[in-house]
Amino acid sequence: MRRNLLAILAGAIALSAGPALAQQGSITLRDRLVVVSSSSSASLTQAVIGAFVERYEGVPAPITSAPGSTHALELFCSGVGPQTPDLAVVTRRMPRAIQETCAANGVRDIVELQVGLGAVVLVARRGEAIQGLTTRHVWEALAAERPHEEEFVPNTARLWSEVAPTLPRSEIRVIVPEEGSGTRALFDDLVLESGCRHAKPIRLIFEAHYRRSKCVTLRNDPRVTAVDSGDVVAALLAAPPGTLAVVSYDQMLASGGNLVPLPLDGVTPSPATIGSLDYDPARTFYLYAKRQHSRNQQGVGVVRGIREFMLEVTSEHAGGPGGYLSAAGLVPLAPADRAAQRRIAERQSLMSR
């Protein structure tokens, strides 16, 4: 999968850059930035690109691709040179294993920026919301197996009231993003694992991998429908009454009020609860930049504009209160944190962890 994505992206870079790739003695080897992203940060990425192109007149629009957080980071870490991405915008911090892949492929000078906050949310159509849901309820409703008398049994629950008597006697129907998307990964980590970690049968499992599989393996029946991350909202709007869906906070905002967020564990997602991290399924948007692609002191490099792109992302008119990224679902970092990220962008300080 990674090889196929890399081949497709390399082809797009070659077609767009044209003769510039062959000019090895020129100042830069490519005439435009290449940005990969997660699907749930695609709208944020496009908003930054629009402002970036508008601010720097005459700059070609960056080449973009949104293969998902994991694949985006794998592409970013695939090597150094004009056929590889310059920047990655994702919804998960780069794991240690992918850092090691970066290092093995020669990608060692990496700048890490926190762009702002977002969240994964459970939504319903207006007028169809379920009250009183907890992450434990969600896990027990959707997991392939439910705990019963300290053992696991196949999940046959049909109604929410079978999960908890306080919930309505309505059918369990939930649409989730397919595996591989940033939103699905966050849902697995922040909702399903959060909901299962305190179940006694889970605590008794010694092996971490087996424990996680019990938490995030979903039932394979009509109660759960997995679709492409970008198609979740359309699928929900076409689904039977009472259906719920898992989306990113920016997807909910983009629905124009057609979708309403459900409180989880008594907290409704909002800019205030996400910004304060009172809403547990909150996440940070990260940008990774390949400093090795910037021009060196001799004026030679892969591409121009990496530092300028980072400065645009961390500017107040982008990620500050009322900034244009708020329309893409971004919740600003605290003032001191925003200032710290701008300093990193200005100095192109390397990631150290």
The pLDDT of residue 7 is 56
* Residues 132 and 265 both lie in one domain: yes
Residue 1 pLDDT > 60: no
Q: Are residues 271 and 309 in the same domain?
A: no
Tokens representing 46 are: 């496009």
On whether both 252 and 294 belong to a single domain, the answer is no
Closest CA to 166 of 266, 243, 241, 261: 266
> Does residue 67 lie in a domain region?
yes
Q: Are residues 268 and 158 in the same domain?
A: yes
Q: Say whether pLDDT at 229 is over 60.
A: yes
- Using a pLDDT cut of 70, give the percent of the chain over it: 91
Residues 268 and 330 occupy one common structural domain: no
- DSSP string covering 249-276, please? HHHHHHTTTSEEEPPBTTB---HHHHHT
Q: For residue 277, is it within any domain?
A: yes
- In CATH, what number is assigned to the domain containing residue 308? 3.40.190.10
Domain around 134: 119-282
Domain count for the chain: 2
pLDDT for the residue numbered 297: 55
Which of 282, 314, 334 finishes a domain? 282
Can you tell me the distance from the alpha carbon of 147 to that of 13, in angstroms, rounded to the nearest whole number?
A: 50
CA distance linking residue 70 with residue 5, whole number of Å: 12
Average pLDDT over residues 182-189: 83
Residues paired with residue 301 on neighbouring β-strands, in sequence order:
28
Q: Could you tell me where the beta strands, DSSP code E, fall in the chain? A: 34-37, 63-65, 87-90, 110-125, 145-148, 151-154, 174-177, 224-227, 244-248, 259-261, 282-290
At residue 353, the pLDDT reads 65
Is 19 part of a structural domain of the chain? yes
* Residue 169 and residue 29 share a domain: no
pLDDT at residue 342, rounded to an integer: 97
Task: Tell whether 353 is covered by a domain.
Answer: no
User: Looking at the whole model, is its pTM more than 0.85?
Assistant: no
In a domain, 352, yes or no: no
Which domain-ending residue is among 240, 265, 282? 282
Is residue 196 included in any domain, yes or no? yes
Residue 311's φ and ψ, nearest 5 degrees, are -65, -35
Average of per-residue pLDDT across 307-321? 96
CA atoms within 13 A on the CB side of 126: 6
Quick one: 324 and 189 in the same domain?
Answer: no
pLDDT class of 11 with cuts at 50, 70, 90: low
Same domain for 338 and 309 = yes
Identify the pLDDT of residue 212: 85
Q: Give the mean pLDDT of 85-104.
A: 94
Q: Which helix (H) or strand (E) holds 186?
A: helix 182-187
The DSSP output letter for 84 is S
Amino acid 21: pLDDT: 42
Q: Say yes or no: 56 and 113 in one domain.
A: yes
The string of pLDDT tens digits covering residues 109-158 is 999 999 999 899 999 999 998 999 999 999 999 999 988 877 889 999 99
Domain assignment of residue 166, yes or no: yes
Predicted local confidence at residue 99, as pLDDT: 95
Average pLDDT, the chain: 88
pLDDT single digits (tens) 17-61:
544 444 444 477 898 999 999 877 888 899 999 999 999 988 999
Position 290 pLDDT exceeds 80: yes
**Statement to judge: residues 159 and 34 lie in one domain:** no
Residue, of 174 and 198, whose pLDDT is higher: 174
Note whether 110 and 124 are same-domain residues.
Answer: no
Domain boundary among 225, 258, 282: 282
Q: What is the pLDDT of residue 9?
A: 63
